[in-house]
Amino acid sequence: MRMKILTGFALAAGLLLNGAAAYAEEDIKIGVMFPLSGPMALIGNEAYQAAEVAREMFNERGGANGKNVTFAVADAPGPTQGNAEATRLVVPENVPLIAGTYASSIALAASEVTEREGVLYWETIAVADKFTSRDYQNVVRLTFNASMMGETAADFTKDLASKLGKTPEELKVAVISEDSEFGQSVGQAAAERVEANGMQLVADERYNRTVTDLSSLILSLKSVAPDVVIATSYLNDGVLFVRQARELDFNIGALVGIGTGYALPDFLEATGKNAEGIFDVDGPASPNISNLPQETQEVYGEFLEKFRAATSRDPGPLALISFGGFWTLFNEVLAKAPDTSIDSLRKAAYEIDLPMGSLLTGAGVKLQPLGEPNQGQNTRAQLSVMQWQDGKLQVVWPEAIALEDIKSVPLEPWNQR
């Protein structure tokens, strides 16, 4: 069993349990990796905080057969650090698994280490298709993948055609994305689905997420006059695109964003009224929980209370996704596996069979079986389309978890807002 016995003399400062530093005589220590510094730190820290809430709630309920879960935390701002930190966690820290990670580039680099060393990699957020297409035996992904995100955005865009007074065949669509593993995977899937759905793909562009000027891209888009832009972005580049679109009077019927950059309260704070009517494809930030099972509703209420107390803000989509990933890991794997060997952990993971509605996002959990394409991918992941309405991000699709109807299509021209 890959487990470390901790005594009162070996307590590590900074790990909190029930509001104070306290450990059971035997703890299950797992590796947790997020970008806690650098350009992705805002979302990385939010996802980490959700994981901490899940750990606190699980330990309060008795942990894994009386054993508390503790975290060996790794900060990985990029793939180089991800590889190095995964090595540190697996070798000197001797963790039986690593969970996280948010960024696809980091997850891909870190999971190379765990696969080589025979340790489970439990991904809660990263979406690059490549993560589960490498025939790795020890990787699990609880959230949707990039293809699902891009295809959902394109399918939703097709449904917007009638609201824009056009047929799908008449609809002109531009696809833009930042050029990381995440952006390229999602952008490619979106572009391919746009054409498969019979719409006109008038632009398919990539840019670096650290860009400080998107004016040339916007002017290029303006020249082809798309009805809809599907944009895969992080926070800073998403804000930049909206601001410069207004400055350059680039008017479109709808902006379908992909990624949590468009869903964070920080996006609203940075763009103000300019956010009104913008869509975001991601896990739902505020699902209609009345349609979820009673047990899920109770967990949601407890999570919301604890997350607000810890952060003084409401959770975004990735916080809900992160919590669900860790909550499932704790309750369905650590609590049920007889030990923390790779064989036991992997067996418990592949035996999970949670129906839709089991997680806060409305998702369920059932992994694609080993030996099949995309093995380890959760086949019951839940995507939604949200829209900024009157300063709030509302789920508008699918109907089962929607809170509001679609509004502000077509978007008003900038000079009328």
> What average pLDDT does the segment 388-395 reach?
94
Give 351-381 pLDDT, tens digit per residue: 999 999 999 988 999 999 999 999 999 999 9
Nearest to 381 by CA among 193, 197, 132, 185: 132
For 405, counting Cβ atoms within 10 Å of its Cβ (0-12 exposed, 13-18 middle, 19+ buried), the class is exposed
Average pLDDT, the chain: 92
Q: Inform me whether the pLDDT recorded for 8 exceeds 50.
A: no
Q: What amino acid occupies position 292?
A: L
Ordered domains of the chain (ranges, CATH):
8-144+290-350 (3.40.50.2300), 147-282+384-416 (3.40.50.2300)
* Alpha-carbon gap, residue 85 to 33, rounded angstroms: 8
Give 95-134 pLDDT, tens digit per residue: 999 999 999 999 999 999 999 999 999 999 999 999 999 9
* Alpha-carbon gap, residue 35 to 109, rounded angstroms: 13
The CB density around residue 65, as the number of other CB atoms within 10 Å, is: 11
Nearest to 363 by CA among 282, 417, 304: 282
Q: What amino acid occupies position 240?
A: L
* Alpha-carbon gap, residue 270 to 191, rounded angstroms: 28
Q: Which two tokens stand for residue 230?
A: 């599907």
* Alpha-carbon gap, residue 222 to 257, rounded angstroms: 18
Q: Which two tokens stand for residue 101?
A: 């990670």
| Helices 181-196 and 104-117, axial angle in degrees (round to 10) | 110
Q: Helix, strand, or coil here: 264?
A: coil
